[in-house]
Amino acid sequence: MFGVDIVCPYLKLLNAVSEAVLTSVAIISMFSYSLDLLPPPLNQLVLGGGAGVLTATAVAKRGRHAKSTKVRATASLPGVPSERAGRAPAALTKPVEKQQLLRKYDKAFAEMLARHGAQSRSEALELMKPIIYQLSPDLKAWTGDARLRMYLLLQELSKNLDDPVSAKPSLNILYLVLTQGGQAALEMAKPMFRERIQEMYGKSIHDDERFLPRLMLMLDDYDLTAVETLTKDAIHLWGEDRFRAAWEYLGLDELRERGLRNKLKGVLGEEIAKAGNERDRTALNRAVELYHAVA
């Protein structure tokens, strides 16, 4: 009995501290901008002592981990040379080199057209990815040769886009073209793919497609309303498979250049507070991950 009398108060104390830590997460939204502006450990002191410090420390650790493991999206595509991660290859300044690459692309494209069946075409698409990556400087410049070839390629991709067998390589190439092709690629792809991508997003069979949610944002040109809606979906509606597959690939770090970073930080801060108050640990963890993804 003596041992029980001693242990019980400690158990009650631990439970109380645990509840306090979860509840104190709601404070974060009030200080979201302060936490960004002040370096550690000052950002933790802003929240005060006790549970607030524990919460701030946990969030800060998540932030450091997220920054250290930030995905370089181009390199994450299978078939794209890893040594060129995060940057486009040098432009093809020699006409001979460019013509050789275009002939190589034309041969691969013709081979893809000649294949029958989703699996066979998917294999051909995989072989085309390194070639498209090498052509990416011309995609950005949007020269006549590259423009015609990419238009025909996008048309082919759109035909069997939602086929589970060919969806992954098709989405990977679409993502690569939009990433490297800039505004001209977006204008060409949007009428072909925007509604199709939205339909695929609503089907659970595509939950493991890591680029699908980001393609929705790209085809909406990162409209703030679309970004807010999708991030709230990610926090509250996504299954574990989709969140695990796609959250690091949303490209939320691009919002800084668009002047939308602080607006989304405020939205996510509110979601963090809401999840803390409601004791929703899943929503809390997801909101914190996304908060730190907005560089």
pLDDT digits (tens, 9 = 90+) for 181-202: 888 899 999 999 999 999 999 9
Percent of the chain with pLDDT over 90: 52
Mean pLDDT confidence for 152-163: 92
Categorize the per-residue pLDDT at 141 as very low, low, confident or very high, splitting at 50, 70 and 90. confident
CA distance 201 to 177: 19
Beta-carbon-side half-sphere exposure of residue 85 (alpha carbons within 13 Å)? 10
Q: Are 257 and 263 in contact (CB under 8 A)?
A: no
Of 39 and 294, the structure prediction assigns the larger pLDDT to 294
Structure-block tokens of residue 30 = 């009030």
> Tens digits of per-residue pLDDT, 205-259?
999 999 999 999 999 999 999 999 999 999 999 999 999 999 999 999 989 999 9
User: Running DSSP on this structure, what letter comes out for residue 251?
Assistant: -
